[in-house]
A and B are shown apart, each in its own frame.
Chain A
Amino acid sequence: MTDVFAKRRFRLRAMKKLMDNYLPADQLIACPKCLRDIPIAQKEENLSVCPHCGYHWPIGAKRRLEIIMDAGRYRELNADLCAGDPLSFPGYPEKLAKAREATGMNEAVLTATGMIHGHRCVVCALDGRFLMGSMGAAVGEKLTLAIEHAQRNRLPLIIFSASGGARMQEGILSLMQMAKTSAALRRFSEKGLLFISVLTDPTTGGVTASFASLGDVILAEPGALIGFAGPRVIEQTIGEKLPEDFQRAEFMMEHGFVDAVVARGELRAALGELLLLHQGGKHEQ
Chain B
Amino acid sequence: MSNEMTAHERVMIARHPQRPGIRDYIDALFPHFFEMKGDRLCGEDEAILGGVALYHDQPVTVIGTKKGRTLQENLRANFGMPSPEGYRKAQRLMQQAEKFHRPILTLIDTSGAYPGMRAEEHGQGEAIARSLYEMSGLTVPVIAVITGEGNSGGALGLAVADRVLMLENAVYAILSPEGFASILYKDASRAGEAAEVMKMTAPELRTLGVIDGIIPEPEGGAHTDPARAMQAVDEAIDAQLTALMQLQGKALVEQRVQKFRRMSAFERAELTKQPAARQEK
Contact at A175–B174, with CB atoms within 8 Å?
A: yes
Q: Which residues of chain B are within 8 angstroms of A1 by Cβ–Cβ distance? A: none
Contact pattern, A 117-150, Cβ under 8 Å of B = 1, otherwise 0: 0000000000000000000111011001000000
A211 on interface, CB distance cutoff 8 Å: yes
Q: Which residues of chain B are within 8 angstroms of A229 by Cβ–Cβ distance? A: 113, 115-116, 119-120, 124
Given A73-B279, A179-B132, A209-B129, also A80-B119 (CB < 8 A)? no
User: Could you tell me the distance between the alpha carbons of A212 and B125 in the complex, rounded to whole angstroms?
Assistant: 9
B251 on interface, CB distance cutoff 8 Å: no
Interface residues of chain B: helix, strand, loop or mixed (majority):
mixed
A222 on interface, CB distance cutoff 8 Å: no
Contact at B184–A228, with CB atoms within 8 Å?
A: no
Q: Which residues of chain A are within 8 angstroms of B210 by Cβ–Cβ distance? A: 172-173, 176
**Using a CB-CB cutoff of 8 Å, which residues 148-186 of chain A contact chain B?**
166, 168-180, 182-186
A208 on interface, CB distance cutoff 8 Å: yes
Contact at B153–A214, with CB atoms within 8 Å?
A: no
Specify the chain B residue showing the minimal Cβ separation from A190. B137
Q: Which of B18-26, B192-200, B216-224 contacts A (4 or more CB under 8 A)?
A: B192-200
Contact at A138–B153, with CB atoms within 8 Å?
A: no
Q: Shortest distance in angstroms between B48's beta carbon and chain A's nearest beta carbon?
A: 16
Contact at A237–B152, with CB atoms within 8 Å?
A: no
Contact at B152–A175, with CB atoms within 8 Å?
A: yes
Given A183-B261, A187-B257, also A234-B199 (CB < 8 A)? no
Number of chain B residues whose Cβ lies closer than 8 Å to a Cβ of chain A: 59
Specify the chain B residue showing the minimal Cβ separation from A137. B265
Specify the chain A residue showing the minimal Cβ separation from B204. A172
Contact at B278–A73, with CB atoms within 8 Å?
A: yes
Contact at A137–B264, with CB atoms within 8 Å?
A: yes
**Using a CB-CB cutoff of 8 Å, which residues 151-169 of chain B contact chain A?**
152-153, 156-157, 159-160
Q: Which residues of chain B are within 8 angstroms of A206 by Cβ–Cβ distance? A: 152-153, 174
Q: Which residues of chain A are within 8 angstroms of B264 by Cβ–Cβ distance? A: 137, 140-141, 173
Contact at B125–A208, with CB atoms within 8 Å?
A: yes
Contact pattern, B 164-200, Cβ under 8 Å of A = 1, otherwise 0: 0000000011110000100110000000000001111
Contact at A169–B184, with CB atoms within 8 Å?
A: yes
Q: Which of A10-18, A44-52, A82-90 contacts B (4 or more CB under 8 A)?
A: A82-90
Given A87-B198, A228-B119, also A176-B130 (CB < 8 A)? no
Q: Which residues of chain A are within 8 angstroms of B130 by Cβ–Cβ distance? A: 213-214
Name 22 interchain pairs, CB-CB below 8 A, sorted by A: A79-B274, A86-B265, A113-B280, A137-B263, A137-B264, A178-B129, A178-B132, A179-B132, A179-B159, A183-B136, A183-B137, A206-B152, A210-B128, A227-B120, A227-B125, A228-B120, A237-B116, A246-B120, A247-B120, A255-B123, A257-B125, A257-B126
B residues bordering A, Cβ < 8 Å? Answer: 113-117, 119-126, 128-130, 132-133, 136-137, 152-153, 156-157, 159-160, 172-175, 180, 183-184, 197-200, 205, 208, 210, 256-257, 260-261, 263-272, 274, 278-281
Beyond A86-B199, A178-B153, 13 extra complex contacts between A and B, CB < 8 Å: A62-B278, A75-B279, A84-B265, A137-B265, A168-B183, A170-B265, A172-B172, A182-B132, A213-B125, A213-B129, A214-B129, A228-B128, A237-B116
